[in-house]
């Protein structure tokens, strides 16, 4: 089983619908992140959380919200999806005690907004 699990893996939805992407991890890491990946662009950070009571906006947080329900769970919501939110979304975790800050990624959630 994957250490960082994302659901759903694929989703097609319509403009205006509310969508939630969920992420759970068994690595015991405090830090969790949501990124989106678009063709020709680097990974862009949406939100991140360093512990259960800590939520921070990334560079492209508009149109998104998150919830850190537990150390192991971090969900991303699109309250009213729009077509330019069509992308591949990755959840990632890191261990604050590791000097390198290496990220461990989930398998990705491909979202299509029609």
Partner 1 sequence: GQNIDQPTEMTATEGAIVQINCTYQTSGFNGLFWYQQHAGEAPTFLSYNVLDGLEEKGRFSSFLSRSKGYSYLLLKELQMKDSASYLCAGMDSNYQLIWGAGTKLIIKP
Q: How far is the CB of 80 from partner 1 (least distance, A)?
A: 27
1 makes contact with partner 1 (CB under 8 A): no
| Helix, coil or strand: residue 10 | strand
Burial zone of 90 (CB within 10 Å; 0-12 exposed, 13-18 middle, 19+ buried): buried
Q: Which residues contact 91 (CB under 8 A, 6 or more apart)?
A: 4, 6, 21, 23, 25, 32, 33, 34, 35, 74, 76, 105, 106, 109
Question: Is 103 among the residues that bind partner 1 (CB under 8 A)?
Answer: yes
* By CB under 8 A, residue 20 contacts partner 1: no
| By the rule CB under 8 A, 90 interacts with partner 1 | yes
* Selected range binding partner 1 among 19-27, 42-50, 60-68, 72-80, rule: CB under 8 A: 42-50
Nearer to partner 1 by C-beta: 84 or 100? 100
In the complex, the residues that contact partner 1 under the rule CB under 8 A are: 40-45, 58, 90, 100-108
């Amino acid at each position: 089983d994957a250490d960082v699990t994302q659901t759903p893996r694929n989703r097609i939805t319509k403009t205006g619908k509310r969508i939630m992407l969920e992420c759970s991890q068994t690595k015991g890491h405090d830090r969790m992140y949501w990124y989106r990946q678009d063709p020709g662009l680097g990974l862009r950070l949406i939100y991140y959380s360093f512990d259960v009571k800590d939520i921070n906006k990334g560079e492209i947080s508009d149109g998104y919200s998150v919830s850190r329900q537990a150390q192991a769970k971090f969900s991303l919501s699109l309250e009213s999806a729009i077509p330019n939110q069509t992308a591949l979304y990755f959840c990632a975790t890191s261990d604050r005690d590791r000097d390198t800050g290496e990220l461990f990624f989930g398998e990705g959630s491909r979202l299509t907004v029609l």
